[in-house]
Amino acid sequence: MEPHRNVIIGTAGHIDHGKTVLVKALTGRNTDRLAEEQQRGISIDLGFAPFLLSDGSTAGIVDVPGHENFIRNMMSGATGIDLALLVVAADDGVMPQTREHLAILDLLGVSSAVVAVTKTDLAGEEFVELVTDEVKDLLEGTGLAGSPVIPVSAVSGEGIDALKEELELQAGLVRLKDEQLPARLPIDRVFTLKGIGTVVTGTLWSGTVGDTDHLELLPGGMGVRLRSLQVHDRSRDTVFAGERVAANLAGVSHDDVTRGDVLVTPGTVRPTYMVDASVTVLSDCKRPLKRGTRVRFHHGTREVMGRIYPLEGDRVAPGETRPAQLRLESLVVCAPEDRFIIRSYSPVTTIGGGTVVDAHPVKHKAAGGRTVSDFHELEVGGTRSLAVFLTRARKPVTSENLILESGLSPAVVNEGIKQLVKDGEAVTFSGKGVTAYLASERYEELADGLVGIVTEFHRTKPLAEGIAKETLKKKALEGWDSRTGEILMENLSREGRLEVDGNLVRLHGAFASVSEEQKRMLAGITGRIEGNPVSPPSLGELSEELGKSRQTLSELLEVAQRDGTLVRVSPELYFSRPALEDIEGMLTSAALSDGITVSDFRKLIGTSRKYALPLLEYFDRVKVTVRVGDKRRLRTSFHEHG
């Protein structure tokens, strides 16, 4: 379906230059809704009005305050606008907030504008021309250079039709927004209506929202359900990116929401305390932004405090654009390519802004090196930035994880992953109900690490068949999902680097190596055990007799276990297999319907309690017998009679 062309027009300009009066002349609506605004004759907060276009569609106009004390409110309105309506009074010319508003528009990346030179009825023709030239000069060197300038008078109506035509022309050139992206709606107003409940308004930055959708309110993380939607006072089933939206939230109180919160598609964005960004300091800023400078960070409709840490050098000088990390004191909800404004802590003035490059960076201890290299890769965006996030991951991550961590859209992540796998830069972990990815560089590091651990295991335990899977996971894969750990070992087995045999892992082609001396020792021990079928020497006794450690003898006896010569009955006792089979036969041939005690069993096979009890516990474990009180009964007999 063809995306909708939704346009938000935002006013800008100095106080008392006629922005609100001009909006009323264009739309018929007075945007000064507050009693204080109407009493004082100035705009304090944001105002909104629909602007009907000739094709029957409606653009939204956001009227912002011009007074320097309300710049914060102005920025809340300026976020998300497509087309600026810069207002300069013919009887006053360019003033301080004209310059500041223009700088904010430029920093926010607004590239379309129409300039209205207002109050022409109060200035002569020559002065109007002078102000027009002054404005054109002011626009030079900004992203709005060459914007059309229209002289108007809201009182006489002169130029209003020409201004409408120009606004409509420019609105038709606005870039279409991606309605397939997850929804993001920064909230700029919260109020309660009797009988309706909590209502929030804002400009839908991206995506599509239905009137019964479930969304997530960030940064708090509250799940919310929509009850209804309106655009320009008309109910809608669905709203699209670029529209001014009023949303009625079900089950949410006024106190649960504030300006600066964001409604998003659940599970698509994660709030952050840090961003890496390309930061620009305005050329007329009086001093550089040094490392650790405290600033006001304005993003969307939210203002938070933070500190700036350049990634190259220790400062960003006026007129410069440099990579930097912003460490914030409160959570923000942002994504790569989002624009923001920086204002000084005190006195409060606009000093710069920039573009988010990484919404979830690590805390950089020092500038330069890999940090800057990664930053520039992330600036490229798309597949290249995805490669950086994958390389940063210490364990396999799902595409859902990557969407949250990178802030990239699902489409970019899914296509980027395919390309990275195709190019050999990423490895897929697929199976066991999971699909995850790991950078090839990291995969090779892990593979080398696992092979190294198994190699060392074989060196120190040459008699062992292999290392236990769980032991290997604890040593090398701490924090991993057990499924991805299994997949990694299976991958390495297919590649011929390791062999997986049940719960054991060994080097490819490795086998237990028994020396001639060890063979002679094992033969002697086996002979001792076979020569004492119902009372073999314990591990401790063998250790004392032979002068070998218990660990050494355990590893040696494990060889005899694997070839079936001996059976380990307890940590201390090994029996020859034929002897154990004879003992089992004696046990089962005795009539056990009434059970047998340890004492009776000891007498039956002619041994001591030292051996009788471990033997019966062994037969319990292998399901030959079952303990009932102080007796053992045959398991089959127990089920038949019990």
Closest CA relative to residue 310, chosen from 300, 320, 319:
320
Alpha-carbon distance values, 93 to 87, 127, 229, 354 (Å): 10, 9, 41, 28
Q: Are 251 and 212 in contact (CB under 8 A)?
A: no
**Domain range list for the chain:** 8-171, 184-264, 272-372, 373-440, 516-641
Q: Are 628 and 580 in contact (CB under 8 A)?
A: no
More confident residue, 459 or 159: 159
More confident residue, 45 or 560: 560
Which class is 373-440 in CATH?
A: mainly alpha
Q: Are 620 and 610 in contact (CB under 8 A)?
A: no
For residue 51, give the 3-state DSSP assignment.
strand
Which class is 516-641 in CATH?
A: mainly alpha
Q: Are 218 and 268 in contact (CB under 8 A)?
A: no
Give the best-scoring range by mean pLDDT among 321-335, 415-429, 431-445. 321-335
Predicted local confidence at residue 455, as pLDDT: 85
Residue 557 has which token pair?
């006896």
Question: In sequence order, what DSSP letters do the residues of 481-536 get, joined into one string?
Answer: -HHHHHHHHHHHHHTTSEEEETTEEEETT------HHHHHHHHHHHHHHHHSTTSP
Predicted confidence (pLDDT) at residue 62 exceeds the cutoff of 90? no
Which residue is it, tokens 């990579």? 323
CATH 3.40.50.300 is held by the domain 8-171: yes
Q: Are 465 and 501 in contact (CB under 8 A)?
A: yes
Predicted confidence (pLDDT) at residue 16 exceeds the cutoff of 50? yes
pLDDT band, residue 187 (cuts 50/70/90): very high
Matching fold, domains 184-264 and 516-641: no
Q: Are strands 293-299 and 339-344 parallel, antiparallel or unpaired?
A: antiparallel
Predicted confidence (pLDDT) at residue 44 exceeds the cutoff of 50? no
Does this model's pTM top 0.95? My answer is no
Report the distance separating Cα 306 and Cα 108, nearest Å. Answer: 19
Predicted local confidence at residue 386, as pLDDT: 86
Report the distance separating Cα 432 and Cα 459, nearest Å. Answer: 33
| Structure confidence by residue, pLDDT tens digits, 539-557 | 999 988 888 888 888 878 8
Predicted confidence (pLDDT) at residue 66 exceeds the cutoff of 50? no
Q: What is the mean pLDDT of the chain?
A: 86
Q: What's the mean pLDDT in 467-489?
A: 86
Predicted local confidence at residue 23, as pLDDT: 87
CATH 3.40.50.300 is held by the domain 184-264: no
Predicted local confidence at residue 15, as pLDDT: 78
Report the distance separating Cα 371 and Cα 315, nearest Å. Answer: 16
Predicted confidence (pLDDT) at residue 639 exceeds the cutoff of 70? no
Give the best-scoring range by mean pLDDT among 134-138, 386-390, 391-395, 452-456. 134-138
Which residue is it, tokens 């942002």? 334
Sign of the CA dihedral 620, 623, 624, 629? positive
More confident residue, 80 or 642: 80
| Structure confidence by residue, pLDDT tens digits, 350-370 | 999 999 999 998 888 766 556
133 CB neighbour count, 10 Å cutoff: 11
Predicted confidence (pLDDT) at residue 373 exceeds the cutoff of 50? yes
Which residue is it, tokens 């006792």? 573
Q: Domain 272-372 carries which CATH code? A: 2.40.30.10
More confident residue, 67 or 336: 336
Percentage of the residues of the chain whose pLDDT score is greater than 70: 91
Predicted local confidence at residue 54, as pLDDT: 83
Predicted local confidence at residue 65, as pLDDT: 62
Measured in residues, the chain has a length of: 642
